[in-house]
Amino acid sequence: MTSTTIDFGQTKLSYYTTGKGLPLLLLHGFCADHTVWMQEPNGHDFMKPFTENYRLIMPDIPGFGTSILSDSMKNKDESSLPNGASHDVASMYYYADCIKAILDAENISSCAMIGHSMGGYILMNFASRFPGYLKGLGLFHSTAYDDDIEKKAGRTKTALFVQQHGAAPFVKELYGNLFGEGYRTTHQHDIETIIADATATSTTEGIVNACFAMRDRINTSAVLKQLEVPVLFIIGKEDKAIAAEKTLQLTSLPERSVICLLEKTGHMGMFEAPQECRAAIMEWLSVITR
């Protein structure tokens, strides 16, 4: 695996590449980094089978992993994080522009993209502004809907909590609710390892900026109607973060949808149901390359 860091304004953007073939960009979610897709030292090889035919591009979102937010984005509070596109604060616009910068640095003008959770929110913003780059879009436990009033308030509360108490206690609580009941019962040690990795990769300022960016994102469901590329939906029936019923409503919007509804799975299908998720991704990629 090759690591690359580029400058995007004052932001240090890191991304990781491996494999050969058609480019496939994989964007992690909230309080994670690129290793959610593949981390060979600890045996997590979720996307490794794809490296024979695809070139995987796995960015770290600024504030997570090895991508570093600019100083102007650090130590932000509620009053300094308005809506809209601004590179003085993190927003879905800013994160999506980071993805475009990486693709441009790699001279990639078209590729398939999958976003997990918050990564999907970012790619929906990307799709709304740069649809020509997309060969296919995957929403992996993600949605095109914006937050409701209750969830917006929760984002603000989380940001303030993390500012006061740091990342560790929040990450532990967050990940404790992301897995389905069966996996939680039988894989407690694995979950503890995942929590430790997530804590190590999540900065306080990264979490705070991401909370407000998620809170202030717009509804992009109309974009799904306009896309001319295949859209993958991976949905966990026991997902407490993004309700399966709501996501299923979106599946009828694209012209071409590939739908994977996972039984006894929460928000982390790459760990809970890796074989089923890989099969769904492979089916979606086969539709793209037909």
Burial tier of 72 (Cβ tally within 10 Å: 0-12, 13-18, 19+): middle
Residue 40: pLDDT above 80?
no
Among the listed residues 60, 66, 48, the one whose alpha carbon sits nearest the alpha carbon of residue 1: 48
**Domains held by the chain: number:** 1
Task: Assign 68 a pLDDT band (cuts: 50, 70, 90).
Answer: very high
Question: Would you state the structure tokens that stand for residue 236, as one six-digit string?
Answer: 């966990």
**CA geometry: angle 258, 180, 283, nearest 5 deg:** 20
Identify the pLDDT of residue 41. Answer: 53
What does the alpha-carbon distance between residue 115 and residue 270 come to, in Å, rounded to a whole number? Answer: 12
This prediction's pTM: 0.95
Q: What is the pLDDT of residues 158-180, one digit of tens each?
A: 999 999 999 999 999 999 999 99
Higher pLDDT, 8 or 76: 8
Q: Regarding beta strands 54-59 and 2-8, do their DSSP bridges make them parallel or antiparallel, or are they unpaired?
A: unpaired
Question: Domain containing 273 — which CATH number?
Answer: 3.40.50.1820
Question: Would you state the structure tokens that stand for residue 124, as one six-digit string?
Answer: 């929906």
Identify the pLDDT of residue 87. Answer: 44
Residue 43: pLDDT above 70?
no
Residues of 170-188 as b/e, b for ≥16 C-beta within 10 angstroms?
bbeebbeebbbeebbeeee
Residue range 227-245: mean pLDDT, rounded = 98
Query: In terms of residue numbers, what domain contains 124?
Result: 2-288
Paired residues of 14 in beta bridges: 5
Identify the pLDDT of residue 165. Answer: 96
Residue range 97-113: mean pLDDT, rounded = 98
Residue 69: pLDDT above 60?
yes
Q: Cβ distance 116 to 29 under 8 Å?
A: yes
